[in-house]
Amino acid sequence: METKRLGDWGEGIALEFLKEKGYFFVAKGFRSRFGEIDLIVKDREFIVFVEVKLRKNADFAYAREYVGKSKQNKIRTTASLWLSAKKTQLQPRFDVIEIYAPDGVDTKSPEIIHLENAF
């Protein structure tokens, strides 16, 4: 339950961060039998599939390193399913948002790093 709570909190922070940058919310938590896409947003020319990674710190590894080839393939396949059901003229893009929150949900100012076109 704690993991889900942290995940929901991180995705909420990521969504607010993206909205402040001018992105528009499309969907959250889209699932297929292949995997899940945390956030789907759009801007002027892209439909963006976002993987959110939340960690306390980067002491062991950067959060982005947890989005390996296998995870990328699952996200791509799931995005393809979403795109086949939703017609859009926007170009797809895959982003990663890293959130570093040393105190978990009690972190007042988490560090947020947005990696556009991450894979």
pLDDT, residue 74, reads 97
Element of type H or E holding 36: strand 36-42
Query: Residue ranges of the domains in the chain?
Result: 2-115
What distance, in Å, lies between the first and last C-alpha atoms of the chain? 30
Angle (nearest 5°) at CA 71 between 68 and 16: 100
pLDDT, residue 10, reads 96
Element of type H or E holding 17: helix 2-20
User: What is the domain class of 2-115 according to CATH?
Assistant: alpha beta
Q: In the predicted model, what is the mean pLDDT of residues 45-50?
A: 98
pLDDT, residue 1, reads 61
Comparing CA positions, the residue from 60, 59, 73, 66 lying closest to residue 97 is 66
pLDDT, residue 62, reads 85
User: Which pTM value belongs to this model?
Assistant: 0.92
